[in-house]
Structure 1
Amino acid sequence: MTTLWLRRQYGQTLVMVAVAVFLMALMLMATTRMGEHARRQYYLQSVADNAAHSTAVLMARQLNLSAVLNRALIGNQVAMAQWVGL
């Protein structure tokens, strides 16, 4: 009688192990998906940061060129004013 009772209990362990393996696989898939999402977000943030930096460098170069050209124009105007004043 005792051996019959033990045989019935053996199947319950198999079901519990199957449920545990299923839950572990589900957690592994969720962790992998979250990691992929974090990697994608990091990549997009990096692209946005690089684009902003490139735009800022381009604008700084443009402003520096404008400043140099303004100095050249002012120097030319001062030279012309001195020449006219002679």
Structure 2
Amino acid sequence: MRIATGLAAGVAPARPVDSQAAEAAEAAPAAAPQAALQSAVLQPALAALRAMPEIDHDKVAALRDALAKGELPFDPAKLAGLIQRFHGSEP
């Protein structure tokens, strides 16, 4: 038995296509104006977010002190319920 390695007349060899690159090329013209709009609209919010400190250490200390003194109500059952709801396993 002999296996032919040639291609039939008029048939071009298949080349793998980078699907991500093809999708990006198709989406780029439509996404460009939208990205520019979002960028212009979100720039003030992004700048404000970058200007904020990561953690407000003074506020954390004040809340910790108030909680330790019993001045801040704490309901562990409510907290547990909120955590469960956030993670999608509402009782």
**TM-score (normalizing by structure 2):** 0.26
Greater Rg by CA: 1
**TM-score (normalizing by structure 1):** 0.27
The answer to which structure, 1 or 2, has the higher relative contact order (CA under 8 A, 6+ apart) is 2
Structure that is richer in helix per residue = 1
